[in-house]
Amino acid sequence: MKERIIEELRNIEKEKNIKILLACETGSRAWGFPSPDSDYDVRILYCHPKDWYLQLGTPKDTIEIMLENNDLDFTGWDLRKALGLLWKSNPPLLERIQSPIIYIEEPGFKESFKSLAQECYSKIGTMHHYLSMSKKIYDDISSAEEYKLKKFFYGIRTAIACKWIMERDEMPPIEFGIMLDQLDIPSDINRRILELIDMKSTQDESYMHSGESNLFEYMKNILDLADSNFKGLSGGKGDMDKMNQFFIETLSK
C-alpha cells in the first residue's frame, strides 16, 4: 500500500502544481493501535510556487481527496496555513510532524518544522484540545453497556496525552506506546491497555466492547486532575520573525 500511496501523492503534486514537503500517516496506524480494516489517513504539508502567494484574494489552501471507497483519505495544508496553525499550537499538526510513518519528506523540513513547533508549543492550548475530546468520549461511553473499542482508544489516548502535558515539557508524542512507556502508569492499567491493543489488532473497526471499569476510573481521575490544573498551564513562546524566515527560506528552495 505504501507504493500506491506514494504514487498518488506524486500525482497530486503534478495535478495541483505543488511541492510536497511532508506526507505522513496519522490516525490509528500512526497512534499504534490499528484494526485490520483501518483506513489510511494521509496528511500532507505542501507549498506552491512563490507567485501563488502574491494573489490579492484568498486562494484555497487545503486539499481533500478520498479514494478507494474512502479507504484512502488524503488531506493537505498549504505551508502558510500550516504555519498559522503552528503559531496556535494546533494539536493535529503537532501530531503529524511526529508521525513514525513517512511517505514523502523534503530533506530537513520535518526537523526544522519540529523545532519551531516546540517553541510555539502551548500546554494550555494543547490541553484544551485533548481534554475536551477525552471528556466527551468519557461521557458518551463510560456508562454504556457496549461501545466501540475504537472509540474507547480515542478516549484513553487523549486522556493519557493530558497526563503527559501536565508532567512533561515536550509536545505529547503521536505514538501511544511512547506515552505508555515513558509515563508513570500503574502496571495493571498499562498491561490491560496493551492487551486491548492486541485485541483491537484482530477486530474490525465495528467491534463492540464492554466493561473496563478500572480503565474508565483511571481515565476519570486524569481528567479531573487536568481540569483542576488547566488554568495554570503555560502558553506558547513562538518567534514570528523566525517563522517568517522559515517560510521564505522554504519557498526559496
Report the pLDDT value the prediction gives residue 234, as an integer from 0 to 100. 92
Report the pLDDT value the prediction gives residue 14, as an integer from 0 to 100. 96
Distance, in Å, from the CA atom of 98 to the CA atom of 114, rounded to the nearest integer, reads 8
Report the pLDDT value the prediction gives residue 1, as an integer from 0 to 100. 87
- Report the predicted TM-score, pTM, of the whole model to 2 decimal places: 0.93
**Torsion sign over Cα 156, 158, 164, 165:** negative
Report the pLDDT value the prediction gives residue 170, as an integer from 0 to 100. 93
Average pLDDT, 10 consecutive residues per value, the chain (253 residues)? 94 96 96 93 96 89 88 95 95 95 95 94 96 97 95 97 96 96 97 97 95 96 94 90 95 90
| Structure letter (DSSP) for residue 102 | E
Closest alpha carbon to 74 in 39, 32, 44, 96: 44
Burial 57-90 (b: 16+ CB within 10 A, else e): eeeebebebeeeeeebbbbbbbbebbbebbeebb
Q: Which fold has domain 2-121+236-252?
A: Beta Polymerase; domain 2 (3.30.460)
Report the pLDDT value the prediction gives residue 253, as an integer from 0 to 100. 83
Q: What is the DSSP code string of 136-154?
A: HHHHHHTT-SSEEHHHHHH
Report the pLDDT value the prediction gives residue 69, as an integer from 0 to 100. 76
Report the pLDDT value the prediction gives residue 224, as an integer from 0 to 100. 97
Would you say 40 and 5 are in contact if contact means Cβ atoms under 8 Å apart? yes
Would you say 5 and 72 are in contact if contact means Cβ atoms under 8 Å apart? yes
* The three cell numbers locating residue 191: 498491561
